[in-house]
């Protein structure tokens, strides 16, 4: 899990992942705005960069 810490005082604010999050630090009251650089697609990542259609296996 990824840790989200306050940009000003480094207090741990959350653990996990989110596409976009705005959270106020309870210690120093700084508003922290975090956005994912590139959202991951849902589901498992394809092996060797090749996507496979399982319907063709049967």
Instruction: State in Å, rounded, how far the first CA of the chain is from the last one.
Output: 36
Does residue 43 lie within any of the structural domains? no
Does residue 46 lie within any of the structural domains? no
Does residue 31 lie within any of the structural domains? yes
The closest of 23, 35, 30, 24 to 8, measured between CA atoms, is 30
CB 4 within 8 A of CB 34: yes
Does residue 27 lie within any of the structural domains? yes
Q: Number of folded domains in the chain?
A: 1
Domain hosting 10: range is 1-37
Does residue 5 lie within any of the structural domains? yes
Choose between 11 and 1: higher pLDDT: 11
Does residue 19 lie within any of the structural domains? yes
Does residue 24 lie within any of the structural domains? yes
Question: Which pLDDT tens digit goes with each residue over 11-48?
Answer: 999 999 888 999 999 999 999 998 887 655 555 555 55
Strands 3-5 and 31-35, sheet pairing:
unpaired
Q: Give the pair of three-digit tokens for residue 16.
A: 């996990």
């Amino acid at each position: 899990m990824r840790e989200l810490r306050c940009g000003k005082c480094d207090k741990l604010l959350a653990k996990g992942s989110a596409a976009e999050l705005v959270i106020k630090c309870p210690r120093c009251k700084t508003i922290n705005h975090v956005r994912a650089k590139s959202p991951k697609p849902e589901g498992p990542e394809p092996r060797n960069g090749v996507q496979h259609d399982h319907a063709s296996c049967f």
